[in-house]
Chain A
Amino acid sequence: QVQLVESGGGLVKPGGSLRLSCAASGFTFSDYQMSWIRQAPGKGLEWISYITRSGNTIHNADSLKGRFTISMDNARNSLYLQMDSLRIEDTAVYYCARTLDAGKVDYWGQGTQVTVSS
């Protein structure tokens, strides 16, 4: 069965960095687009980054201002999110999401908590 398992979250100080990973299994990873979507405490969903199956096309939310970088390793069936210059407002649960054509998510990971605090 399809599984997406995020890791790498934790507590970090403002200005710090974290690298999130998402291990995919149960499907041919290289056949799918992937995304990162986050949810701040008590808030709604925010789509922050998207990468095509080839890895050649990436779209990021303007709100990130270039601080986050999405990447994928098809050989390792893994998706990554490098997060730099973290801010308090980046505190959220970060979900890895398998993204189908026409922009719908059919599978989500369980989420990993990122807390930015001094």
Chain B
Amino acid sequence: DIQMTQSPSSLSASVGDRVTITCRAGQSITNYLNWYQQKPGKAPKLLIYGASSLGSGVPSRFSGSGYGTDFALTISSLQPEDFATYYCQQSYSAPPWTFGQGTKVEIK
């Protein structure tokens, strides 16, 4: 299995802050990297696919970057509705695919 490691595990930030979450793969996954947002008690929502493509209906303050083993999710200006847990997921290998352990974004 390809291991996915996110950092940090949690962070505190204020509305309006720029926030970056990183995800590292245990081997090259080219651009087969997706990001999801999950709010408490809800199913995850696809934010970014193919490392940098914005999901349907996702605000433009979200962006993704990276290739190979190192990736990042950036929120350019944190909004109240963005406080959630974020997961990266690789889809390079054969399924079933693997997720990072998650990054919880909390209000400072």
Task: Point out residues on A near B: beta carbons under 8 Å.
Answer: 35, 44-50, 59-62, 95, 99, 102-106, 108-111
Stretch of B16-24, B76-84, B90-98 at the chain-chain interface:
B90-98
Asked whether A44 lies within 8 Å of B95 as measured between CB atoms, the reply is no
Asked whether B102 lies within 8 Å of A44 as measured between CB atoms, the reply is yes
User: Which residues on A sit within 8 Å (CB–CB) of B45?
Assistant: 108
Least Cβ–Cβ distance between B25 and chain A, in angstroms: 14
Among the interface residues B43, B45, B50, B98, which one has the most CB atoms of the partner chain A within 10 A? B43
User: Which residues on A sit within 8 Å (CB–CB) of B101?
Assistant: 44
Interface of A is mostly: strand
Interface of B is mostly: loop
Q: If A44-B101, A104-B34 touch, does A35 touch B43 (CB 8 Å cutoff)?
A: no
User: Which residues on B sit within 8 Å (CB–CB) of A109?
Assistant: 43
Asked whether B44 lies within 8 Å of A59 as measured between CB atoms, the reply is no
Asked whether A59 lies within 8 Å of B94 as measured between CB atoms, the reply is yes
Q: Besides the contacts A44-B87, A44-B101, A47-B99, what 9 more A-B pairs have beta carbons closer than 8 Å?
A: A35-B96, A45-B36, A46-B99, A59-B96, A103-B91, A104-B34, A104-B46, A105-B46, A108-B44
Say yes or no: is B32 at the interface (Cβ < 8 Å to chain A): yes
Asked whether A103 lies within 8 Å of B34 as measured between CB atoms, the reply is yes
The list of the 10 closest CB pairs from A to B, nearest first, reads A103-B91, A108-B43, A47-B96, A50-B95, A59-B95, A45-B99, A104-B49, A104-B34, A44-B102, A61-B96
